[in-house]
Amino acid sequence: MAGRFAAVYSPAPIGQGGIGDNQQVADLAGQAASSVLTVGTNRMIAISVEPGATGVAVQGASVRFSLAATLNQTAASTDFVLPLNSITTFDTGQYYDSVSFFNMNIAANHVTISVMRLTW
């Protein structure tokens, strides 16, 4: 039908990692890494990167996928970069269950990152 669009993925039900369980890294300072967020293996997730409440962010954030039980979980500037003002989807697959973020901006410019599971 012309003029109609449908989402390819839907949020997981509330209580199972969907809209009601959105994980957010609010106002992450520039040149800083977030804590590790556990999202589960074999999950489709949507990640949004928006300007934070402090400063004027001009860059996005990098993301690192890891297993909760391993070392080197914290993201760095050398990891995969997500653009500012974007929503990106990933499948964590069987080898990853956690994500961490690094704000690419200078220290005064913050970003807010949201992670939502799209399937359960």
What is the second-level CATH architecture of the domain 22-117? Sandwich (2.60)
Residue 30's pLDDT is 95
Domain boundaries, the chain: 22-117
CA–CA separation, 54 and 100 (whole Å): 20
Q: How confident is the model at residue 110 (pLDDT cuts 50, 70, 90)?
A: very high
Q: Mean of the per-residue pLDDT values for the chain?
A: 85
Residue 69's pLDDT is 74
Residue 11's pLDDT is 65
Q: Give the model confidence (pLDDT) of 80-100 as tens digits.
A: 999 999 999 999 999 999 999
Strand ranges inside 1-120, DSSP E: 23-28, 37-38, 44-51, 61-66, 80-82, 86-91, 98-103, 111-117
Nearest CA to 25 among 94, 95, 74? 74
Residue 39's pLDDT is 87
Report whether pLDDT(59) > 90. yes
Residue 18 vs residue 51, higher pLDDT = 51
pTM for this model (two decimals): 0.83
Q: Give the model confidence (pLDDT) of 2-16 as tens digits.
A: 555 445 666 666 665
